[in-house]
Amino acid sequence: FWRPETRGISEPIHTSRAATASTWKPAPGKTSFQPHFFSGLLEDAAFIFAVLLFNAGLGTYQEYKAESAARSLKKAMQITALVTREGEREEVDSEGLVPGDLVSVKSGASVPADIRLLRVQDLQADESLLTGESVPVAKRADAELDPDTPLGDRSTLLHAGSSVASGRGTGIVCRTGTMTELGRIAKSLAEEEQLPPLVLKMRRFTRVIAIAILAAIVVLGLIQAVRGHELLDIFFLAVALAVSAIPAGLPVATTVALSIGSNRMAKRNVIVRKLPAVEGLGACTLIASDKTGTLTANRLTGKLIRPIEGEDVEVGGAGYAPEGTFTRDGEQVGEEGWLRDLIVSGALCNEAEYDVEDGEVRASGDTVDVAFLVLARKFGLTQRELSQDHPEVGGIPFESERRFAVSFNRHGDTVRAHVKGAAQTLAGMCAIDAEAVREREEALAAESYRVLAVAAGEVDEETAERADPSALHGLRFLGLVGLIDPVREEVPEAVEECRSAGVDVRMITGDHPRTALAIGRNLGLAQDDAAVVTGAEIGRREEGGSSHDARIRDAAIFARVEPRQKTTIIDTLQDAGHFVTVTGDGVNDAPALRSAHIGVSMGEGGTDVARNASDLILTDDNFASIVHGIEEGRIAYDNIRKVVWLLISTRLIHRNRG
């Protein structure tokens, strides 16, 4: 408990004030020397020590809050696992797992350790906690991977802290506790955090004052000694000079200025956890932002619908919000038959749930399925109405080997098959040119969309009852849907405002370089591959080579980056002279938030670990709020600078009059 207190008191300016408060000096009207407390100057000494205790107490509270990050992460790791030992299955706490245990996982389960997969059945894992990718990752037990494969591409491994989105699998525990990727993050949170710019500036300012005072004391001491004054008189002259030169009110005045700035920031959706961060955000020269959930909505969204013939239809809105329009070349699209059929089929061939009640969105299930339900809602169709009008009579669930899913629904007196899946697979079920489908699919994929095709057609009752996939032929190919985690609507303008304020913006993500570049283009961060640095390049730099430092300093986008590599990026940018602010919302962002000069986390969609590792919290998860925070931070810095000059000038005037 006392460690943060003593560290706060040990700041140079506080140490000097404590020393002068405890020195002996002549009591008024007396020739004997007594300490401040007994010399009639009790008020001065009490004031000095009150300031010290106030600042130290504030530091203790702040550090206690910051150190709760590791505790939050530990709670996130407290899960159970289904283990097979000596031929018998039992459920054990994750802390009881050891390397070599045989663990089984299924849909909805949290992964208790790093697991090397032996068998899988349509297994997909949500690794957004570690990589930031918003799309579940397919796992394969038989894949052959290079030892240097990035974290997001390790398809044979399940990582602790991730969750099983669908399917099931069995594997052997290969790493537990602090040896897992999640454990490494926990260890990094216990390391010393970066000091805010204000603390660094105040320390530098205090050193300058101390050196100036020491020089003055030496000169005046020598002059007094030459004049024959006693050593004790020379000592108290030095103490008096130190007391008069050190601005006693500076800590209090700084705290008041920062508190005012903190209140102003709170009104603009920025909560301050550590007071020095108020000025620090205003002093930052570079923002290194996480992509998923910060620059983007972290919600897979259908943004483009492409027919085989004709022009694309663009879909407005982002995330799970039900608002959005369908446009073609900027003009709103009417209720075209093929478009309605595609949206209806996508919503009926669906296992997710989506509803909006009193303005609150409720969604569950596979993110792709939810995206199709949101499309239907934007088109004016609800899942409940469609299910009532066209009841399901059978279906074929999605499997990675088949690469499609089917729902058989009744339409009046007929039964229709609604199919959703891989474009080439569905093209084989339809009377259509497969090459034309492939070309259009590849064009969408080149723009970093995740592409799914939709088809539909009448089938007989027997096919629906038997759910026979081989009987699906002669269907109508309705079109392709491009899905992507879209950029938040307010972010491009906020990025431009940051640049206007002299603050550079970089993007860090665990996504594929092609996806990262597409998002970067939308934000105006980069236009070609030369601006993208991958985690593999950073890894080579970590192995001892410094030739990649220039690439890191100049890059605008960092892709396929692992959590520990984010700190390497931040350290390199700081070494280049930048005051770095990092934004993030996930556990994978926590090490970078802690190592940056200023860490900014998300209040609504962020994790407890990220919030506890940060200095500031955005209550609205809006990147644009950072711009307001920078504005308020610069106002606070200007006020602190005025206070410093005022106190120094008044001390000099007071000394000259003395």
Residues classed as catalytic:
290
Q: What is the pLDDT of residues 513-522, one digit of tens each?
A: 888 888 888 8
**What span, in angstroms and rounded, lies between the C-alpha atoms of 433 and 380?**
32
In percent, the amount of the chain with pLDDT more than 90 equals 20
If one compares 369 and 35, the residue with the highest pLDDT of the two is 369
> Distance (Å, rounded) from C-alpha 341 to C-alpha 336?
9
Which pLDDT score is estimated for 339?
93
How confident is the model over 359-376, as a mean pLDDT?
A: 88
- What is the residue-averaged pLDDT of the chain? 80
What does pTM read for this prediction? 0.71
Above pLDDT 70, what percent of the chain? 82
**The 3-state secondary structure of 610-652, one letter per residue:** HHHHCCEEECCCCCHHHHHHHHHHHHHHHHHHHHHHHHHHHHH
Q: What pLDDT, on the 0 to 100 scale, is given for residue 335?
A: 80
Instruction: Report the Cα 218 to chain-centroid distance in Å.
Output: 52
Residue 561 DSSP code: -
| Confidence at residue 341, expressed as pLDDT on a 0 to 100 scale | 93
Q: Look at 367 and 649; give whichever has higher pLDDT.
A: 367
The pLDDT value given to residue 451: 92
Could you give the 3-state DSSP secondary structure of residue 474?
Answer: coil
Joined together, the tokens standing for residue 27 give 């009591």
Q: What does the pLDDT read at residue 136?
A: 78
pLDDT of residue 561: 86
Is the model's pLDDT at 65 over the cut of 60? no
Check residue 3 and give its pLDDT: 42
Q: Is the pLDDT of residue 658 over 60?
A: no
Q: Residue range 39-52: average pLDDT? A: 60
Render pLDDT for 249-297 as a digit per residue (tens, 0 to 9).
Answer: 677 777 788 888 888 888 888 888 888 888 888 888 999 998 877 888 7
Rounded to whole angstroms, how far apart are CA atoms 390 and 340?
A: 14
Check: CB of residue 176 under 8 Å from CB of residue 113: yes
> In whole angstroms, what is the distance from residue 9 CA to residue 57 CA?
10
Q: Which residue has the tokens 């608002």?
A: 323
User: For the segment 211-259, what is each residue's pLDDT rounded down to a tens digit?
Assistant: 887 888 888 888 888 888 888 888 877 777 776 666 666 777 777 888 8
CA 644/CA 251 separation, integer angstroms: 10
In the chain, the domains with their CATH numbers are: 2-66+191-246 (no CATH), 79-188 (2.70.150.10), 258-296+489-639 (3.40.50.1000), 301-484 (3.40.1110.10)
The pairing of strands 80-85 and 286-290 is: unpaired
Look at residue 77 in the predicted model and tell me its pLDDT: 47
